[in-house]
Amino acid sequence: MDPPVSRIGWNNDQNHKIDDKIMQTRREIEKAKNIMKENVQKIMERQQNLDELVERAQRLEAASDEYVKCAVRIQRKAHWRHYAVQYSMIGATAICTVLGLVWTFV
């Protein structure tokens, strides 16, 4: 701790009790200042952590939006393939039926 600016706190026999109380108060004030500095530092660290979390959440949200778009495209593609295969099977069955009927009557 820095030496006091005033004569308070210096060893002097007249006001020894008062000086002790003042020095004790100064120590308590110094402790309180240190605690407040630590609290401010912790608040700043927490704010930084919150900013990082917000940034991560935004990236995750963007990634999830892209995932949904991709999933919808894949689902549509699979849906149309299903219809294509289904109509191909119906067409092949119709052709076989027609060929079978033609073969039977010829």
CB 1 within 8 A of CB 30: yes
Per-residue pLDDT tens digits for 62-76 = 999 999 999 999 999
Closest CA to 36 of 8, 44, 66, 75: 44
CB 26 within 8 A of CB 4: yes
d(CA 58, CA 74): 24
Per-residue pLDDT tens digits for 6-52 = 555 555 555 677 888 899 999 999 999 999 999 999 999 999 999 99
pTM here is: 0.52
Beta-carbon contacts of residue 30 (< 8 Å; ≥ 6 apart):
1
Q: Which amino acid is at 90?
A: I
CA 46 to chain centre: 13
